[in-house]
Amino acid sequence: MASPEILVSCERLEVGFDRKALLPPIDLEIRRGEVIVVVGHNGAGKTTFARTVLGLLRPIAGTVRRSKGLACTYVPQAASLDPTVPLRVDELLGWGAIRRWGFLRPWKGRADRELGRTALATLGVSPLATRRLDELSGGQRQRVLLARLLASDADLAVLDEPTAAMDGPATGATFAALRRLATEKGMTSIVVTHAIAAATSHVDRVVVFDPGGEGIVVTTPKQISESPRFHALFGGIHHHE
Amino acid sequence: MSDAPTTGADVGLDDLAEIEASLPGHEVHDPTVSTIDGGPTWREFADGWDLFSDAVWSATIAGAILGYLSVYIVLRRMVFVSAAITQAAGVGVALAFFAAIHLGFAIDPRLGATAASLAVAALVSRSWERAGLTREMVLGLLFALTSGLAVVIGSRISQEAHDVQAILFGTAVIVDPGDFRALAWVSAIVLAIQLWWYRGFTFASFDPLTARVHRVPVALLDLVLLGSIALVVAQAASTLGALPAFALSTLPAIAARLLVTRGPLLVTFVIAAVIGAAAGVAGYLLAFFWEMPVGATQTVVAGASVVIAVAIRALVRLALRLIRGRRPAPSSAA
């Protein structure tokens, strides 16, 4: 069986700011339908790496090649949305379907509205559709952002700490939903997270940013759960196949 | 009066007769009629409607479009951008006077205001990180520079100092038909683009990272938005004055943000536009009947709308608390 299509290829990629690399070079091929988590301590360069993969930041060195016509989306940290903007959930969802010059159509299409409704229902947050973001809790806001991801119909999604304000069951359900999207729709997810314990059962690969130790390690959840070094870094991790 | 160019913003009640005579299509009108017995009456206002209508419509249009744009300015924390652009518009008009008096070039003050505003908008929209400057640093520099220039240029055109003062603070009770037409056209074009690209402007403004990931042309949308603000502010500054242009481009959004607690974001834009238009007209009427400088009263009314919005919000919250306090506590069996 042929390997799934390569969506993003990082070659000797170095990421950072002000021409200063935060990490050693990384080689990584990201394939269709994969769920990859990026873990590491605060300031290790996880978000910088994710934004470089998306093309929001320029690499310090090396290259990032994205397949032609790749539709990407981004789920920012819930806290990054300005609470002073009186935005409604259905409006935020509507943006998820806008790509390139799609805003030239002044209103949402029927299909986009239906996608939004389905996405909210999938995550069990339909009653929030007409609520304003500043009325929602952090966890609710994150679920709304995930609903927008579902409605975006993207090939590749990068999620920045999508479960930071969620409890244990909601965190597990989020990773399970990403797994389902990967299996059913072939959507690839790169998830920057600290919730490695909840993620391991649902992900294909783990990228560990450990600048003080082994640099960058691309590994599997199973190896993570068996490595004393990673246990020391992230606490007890149990992997269930 | 010298041969220096005139704008609608440079006309006070005292100048009515002189300006009236210079405007084509207007009947000669004795200004003393409107100041008898403690101020003009509604009847006199209605009688002079031909003369005042352009000014009232200018205040309405400028208030509405600036009020609409003020939502972006306030929610994107760009109030200083608006301040720098309005200041630049004032400098542009003053430069037009300077060029006419000292250099012999007859430059339309509207053109001066537009060029200076667009220049500031262009400088603000680009990234200065490579020069080691943040947007705040650039804004601080531009605001200080344009403020200083306004005074410096003003000192060199002392014979027209009254006019420059009028441009900066706005004392117009009548508006030049050319200024009115320019304001109306620019506002119509900007509003059409704003409504057509509404989803793009809001997406790029309030979730720019995701918008960039979706390959939405965020930089272009920002440039068009800033350019729209610059164009409208320039026209409003040369028609009404820089001070009311600044006030109407910031305060309506603050009032609307306080008042609108439900509904989509577009409701905030609409309410801000209504508050802006109301402040423009109410300020004009206040100035007309109490014989005060128009720009200042428009600014005060726009400011009062914020105070009223704060009071309404506080009253509504108090009422809700009282209503909730009177409700019986839910029984433990429920």
User: Is B327's pLDDT higher than 70?
Assistant: no
Q: Give the integer Cα–Cα distance in Å for A158 and B70.
A: 33
Residues forming a β-bridge with A102: none
What is the reported pLDDT for B251? 96
Of A205-209, B4-8, B190-194, least confident by mean pLDDT is B4-8
Query: Could you list the mean pLDDT of each consecutive 10-residue stretch along chain A, which spans 241 residues?
Result: 80 84 86 89 83 90 90 84 86 88 87 84 85 86 87 88 79 84 89 80 83 73 73 59 51
What is the reported pLDDT for B38? 64
User: Is the CB of A103 less than 8 angstroms away from the CB of B206?
Assistant: no
Task: For residues B241-246, give the mean pLDDT.
Answer: 89
Q: Give the integer Cα–Cα distance in Å for A227 and A219.
A: 11
User: Is the CB of A103 less than 8 angstroms away from the CB of B257?
Assistant: no
Where do runs of H (alpha helix) occur along A129-209?
138-152, 168-185, 196-199
User: Is B200's pLDDT higher than 90?
Assistant: yes
Cα within 13 Å of Cα(A154), Cβ side: 31
What is the reported pLDDT for B231? 93
Alpha-carbon separation of residue B54 from B20, B66, B261 (angstroms)? 13, 17, 35
- First-to-last CA distance in chain A? 22
Comparing alpha-carbon positions, the chain B residue that sits nearest to A99 is B214
Task: Determine which helix (DSSP H) or strand (DSSP E) holds A36, and give its type and residue range.
Answer: strand A35-40
Alpha-carbon separation of residue B82 from A58, A97, A105, B229 (angstroms)? 31, 31, 29, 8
Model confidence at B20, pLDDT cuts 50, 70, 90, reads very low
Write the CB contacts of B110 (distance below 8 Å, at least 6 apart in sequence): B7, B93, B178, B179, B182, B234, B235, B238
User: Is the CB of B264 less than 8 angstroms away from the CB of A90?
Assistant: yes
Q: Which tokens hold the place of B272?
A: 């801000």
Tokens 């993620």 belong to residue: A199
Comparing alpha-carbon positions, the chain B residue that sits nearest to A156 is B213
Collapsing DSSP to helix, strand or coil, B55 comes out as helix
pLDDT tens for B24-69 read 333 333 443 444 456 788 888 888 888 888 889 999 999 999 999 9
Tokens 């920045």 belong to residue: A160
What is the reported pLDDT for B69? 97
Task: For residues B208-224, give the mean pLDDT.
Answer: 93
Query: Which DSSP string do the residues of B211-268 spell out, in sequence order?
Result: HHHTT--HHHHHHHHHHHHHHHHHHHHHHT-HHHHHHHTTHHHHHHHHH--SS-HHHH
* Residues of chain B above pLDDT 70, percent: 81
Q: Which tokens hold the place of A79?
A: 């806290």
B211 touches chain A (CB under 8 A): yes
Q: Give the integer Cα–Cα distance in Å for A69 and A71.
A: 6
Most confident of A107-111, B115-119, B252-256, B258-262: B252-256
What is the reported pLDDT for A118? 86
User: Is the CB of A106 less than 8 angstroms away from the CB of B203?
Assistant: no
Radius of gyration of chain B (CA): 22
User: Is the CB of A99 less than 8 angstroms away from the CB of B195?
Assistant: no
Comparing alpha-carbon positions, the chain A residue that sits nearest to B201 is A103
User: Is the CB of B210 less than 8 angstroms away from the CB of A84?
Assistant: no
Alpha-carbon separation of residue B84 from B52, B87, B107, B226 (angstroms)? 30, 5, 22, 12
What is the reported pLDDT for B273? 97
Comparing alpha-carbon positions, the chain B residue that sits nearest to A95 is B203
B212 touches chain A (CB under 8 A): yes
